[in-house]
Amino acid sequence: MLKQFFSRLKGEHAVPAVATRASGSTEFVLSSNGNKLHFRLQVKNMKKFTQARIHLGDHWKNGPAVAYLFGNTKPGISVTSGIITGQLMAADLIGPLQGASISELLEEIKAGRAYVIVYSEFCSSGELRGPIHPQS
């Protein structure tokens, strides 16, 4: 079973694409019992950072949110380099995955239908975005 996943966050991956100096990454590690997905979100050069979420959908379309990684914080925070860590459990899933298990989220990730969006006060549709990929 795949246990590690990764997302490279860039403005050019956002829909619509965003010209930004900000960047980031997200690492996910599945717990040994499969009930928790630990994450480490890193953002750099981010101004007015308000939230980060996992969404489901096709590569170049915006889809529904299924989990919060950070936020909703207002006013947004500005960071040169910042790291947020946490864990997701089934109770944290929202939208179309509300009531689902972490394994159902993993199926979406493995199928290439999950991505991370980082939001700012400047980009309400998302300043950074990156698909979540299995990491070997």
Q: What is the pLDDT along the chain (136 residues), one digit of tens a residue?
A: 679 999 999 999 999 999 999 999 999 999 999 999 999 999 999 999 999 999 999 878 899 999 999 988 888 889 999 999 999 999 999 999 999 999 999 999 999 999 999 999 999 899 999 999 998 6
Asked whether the bond before 72 is cis by omega within 30 degrees of 0, the reply is yes
pLDDT score recorded for residue 11: 97
pTM of the model: 0.94
Cβ atoms of 46 and 120 closer than 8 Å: yes
User: Cα separation of 120 and 115, whole Å?
Assistant: 17
User: Cα separation of 65 and 63, whole Å?
Assistant: 7
* 46 phi and psi angles, rounded to 5 deg: -100, 125
pLDDT score recorded for residue 60: 82
pLDDT score recorded for residue 74: 85
Domains and CATH numbers, the chain: 4-134 (2.60.40)
Residue 36 burial (C-beta neighbours within 10 Å; 0-12, 13-18, 19+): middle
